[in-house]
Structure 1
Amino acid sequence: MKLSPTDLKELAQYAREAAQLAGAVIMTYANKKVEILTKSTGSSEASQVLTEVDLRCEKLILDHLDDSVRKYNLAVLSEEQEDDKQRLIKEAFWCIDPIDGTLAFTQARPGYSVSIALVSKTGKSLIGVVYDPVKDRMYSAITEQGLYLNGQAWRPENELRTEQLTLPCDRSLLKRPDFPDIHKAIDQWRTNKGLTQINEIHHCGAVMNAIQALENPPACYFKPPKKEDGGGSLWDFAATACICSEAGAFVCDYKGQVLELNKADSTFMNQNGVIFSTEKELVAVIQSLYSG
């Protein structure tokens, strides 16, 4: 069924409620020692960390969204469950990361969040909801219907821009042999723009990295293409793609195309990479650094 603007508003409320419930559970474990499990997905340490809290939150979210799944005949793709490929058949699917930034969570550091998106079969993010339980900040957006922070209409460009360039970095980016060259090129752009310094942020998961970029312009967050599986998955970028796009930021892959959020062959995003940037010029700088 085709989802109307009213339908999307109702579904966004489902997602906000589910994210809030999961966030409350997460905070009961904050700063406590939790059992760390591992999984075989991805190629980075962050992608292989799993805890009992991830599983508990995932079940809670799925239970809360179940009514919407049945009412609107939606598919579900969630990080800790096997992909049943129904996302390729039904008109839209919930895309869920119960705790993005699990590594930061296990280290009792901020940078983790709950991420829930509704994605169309064609791969467009229709709804994006991110809840930061540490700061109690709920970010939500509906495509072409605006952006909200804690329920209030929000335009981040109305907030003060800093005099430094914010660069949220995944650990995997820092470990790349070409990172010094990447950093040098971005630092040259900073110098040309008269910005004072680069403020690197290293402790967040992919979701909060994109949010950090959005909230601290000028800024960029990116993951270069790579051959091996990894580079983040659909659930790492689906919600923030909607949020950042509604905010007027630039969201694309390294070819300058809209993120393809429902590929048939894989949930990984390594083939074409991802870029989130508050500055159009920075997108071109980042794209120029990848030689293939």
Structure 2
Amino acid sequence: MNFTELTEKAVKAASNAGQLIRSYRDKDVNVMQKEGGSTLASQVVTEVDRKSQDAILQVLLPTCDELDIALLAEEDEDDRGRLESAYFWCIDPLDGTLPFINGQPGYSVSIGLVAKDGTPLIGVVYDPVHDVLYQATKGQGLRRNNERWSPTQDSQALTFTYDRSFAEDPNFNQVKDELEAYTHSLGLNEFKPIHYGGAVLNACHVLENGPGCHFKFPKSQDGGGSLWDYAATACLYEEGGAVVSDVFGNSLELNRPDSTYMNHRGALYATNKELAKRVREIIAKYSVGR
């Protein structure tokens, strides 16, 4: 399996989809409701989500046929081929549909290649608003707009990105207070909580503005993001030398057999190990009864 060539395919697919999305930026789009979503973000879909996915599949489907790669894409049913094939594409054609609908930044195209055991092998994310493309291939490092990139952590602020559902969490203010206290204990000048966008660019924004973190509490109800929200960025973080795990410090379960949701163990992104350790302590403190 030539992962370099597959990365190039994923880059082309993400770029094509991003150009399509950009062409709809100032147009009225048809917004529909999806069944089964646990949050507003997972309940809305637009014609652009579907067209973006079609643009991606036009590039990637031939690799599925030629190389027996399975496919998991947000706008299609899970056929569970990912549990049989050695590899599967994991696609979110438009992560951050709500900011897209509202004409705000924070949406992206996300394409990952995941091994059957859940190891992220390729991650490609395209931000069409800022024309930034992130890509990583296991063992080959991280790139930003096709240049090698080592995310820095020299900011004097601690960045914390969060989504709509986190902002509505009953412990939201306590978590912010704990992180702000930790910020000052590090001697940093500022704590920056940012309600940015979809899960994918929330993770990327942390990489761009380190030190920082993004995380989701584990919970018993379905939700907490899906495999396609994490597959690509997990590879970006691993190749960028950052930390990505569940909230207990284990690898993300990116090929969960019983569901595509990630709520069971939560998710944690952090730019360094010490920050990840502190965030895990905070999560443990406020996870009781979820």
TM-score when normalising by structure 2:
0.96
User: Is the 2:176–2:193 contact (alpha carbons within 8 Å) kept by the matching residues of 1?
Assistant: no
143-152 or 98-107: bigger deviation: 143-152
Consecutive unaligned residues of structure 1, counting only runs of 5 or more, are none
1:109–1:203 CA contact under 8 A, matched in 2: no
Identity %: 47
* Shift of residue 41, structure 1, vs aligned partner: 3.3
Correspondence for 2:159: 166
Using the alignment, how far apart are the partners of 2:31 and 2:192 within structure 1?
Answer: 30
Deviation per residue, 1:19-71 (Å, 9 max, x gap) = 00000100010132211111123321111110000001111111211111112
| 2:121 paired with 1:150 | no
Instruction: Show the 5 A alignment for 1:28-43.
Output: 28-43=23-38
User: Which residues in structure 2 correspond to 1:108-123 (within 5 Å)?
Assistant: 108-123=103-118
In 2, Cα distance between equivalents of 1:184 and 1:199: 12
Corresponding position: 1:70 with 2:65: yes
1:134 corresponding residue in structure 2: 129
4+ runs of 1 displaced by more than 2 Å?
Answer: 289-292
Using the alignment, how far apart are the partners of 1:42 and 1:188 within structure 2? 35
After superposition, residues 252-267 of structure 1 pair within 5 angstroms as 252-267=245-260
**Partner residue of 1:220 out of 213, 228, 236:** 213
The CA distance in 1 between the partners of 2:265 and 2:157, in whole Å, is 28
The range that moved more, 223-232 or 196-205, is 196-205
- Please say which of residues 144-153 and 267-276 is displaced more in the overlay: 144-153
Aligned to 1:58: 53
Secondary structure at the counterpart of residue 232 of structure 2: helix
Give 2:120's aligned residue. 125
CA displacement at 1:151 relative to structure 2: 1.4
CA contact (8 A) 1:233 1:268 kept: yes
**Distance in 2, Cα, partners of 1:225 & 1:231:** 7
- 1:163, distance to aligned residue in structure 2 (A): 0.8
RMSD after superposition: 1.1
| 1:188 alignment counterpart | 181
Q: Report the equivalent of 2:278.
A: 285
Q: Deviations over 1:234-275 (max 9, x none)?
A: 000000000011000000111100111001000100000000
1:211 maps to which residue?
A: 204
Please state how far the C-alpha of 1:145 moved relative to its aligned partner. 1.1
Q: Does 2:99 correspond to 1:104? A: yes
Equivalent residue of 1:230, what SS? coil
For residue 81 of structure 1, report the CA deviation from its aligned partner. 0.3
Q: What's the secondary structure of 2:183's corresponding residue?
A: helix
Q: Which AA in structure 1 matches 2:280?
A: Q
Counterpart among 259, 266, 279 of residue 273 in structure 1: 266
- SS for the counterpart of 1:156 is coil
Unpaired stretches in structure 2, ≥5 consecutive residues:
none
2:257 counterpart SS class:
coil
Q: Once structures 1 and 2 are overlaid, which stretch shifts more, 188-197 or 209-218?
A: 188-197
What amino acid is the match of 1:283? A
Q: 1 CA distance for matches of 2:48 and 2:232?
A: 21
- 2:249 is paired with a residue whose SS is coil
Asked if 2 retains the 8 angstrom alpha-carbon contact of 1:185 and 1:285, the reply is no
Q: Of the candidates 195, 198, 209, which is equivalent to residue 202 of structure 1? A: 195
Give the residue type in structure 2 aligned to 1:49.
V
Deviates more, 1:109-118 or 1:194-203: 194-203
* TM-score normalised by structure 1 residue count: 0.95
Selected match of 1:9 from 4, 7, 20: 4
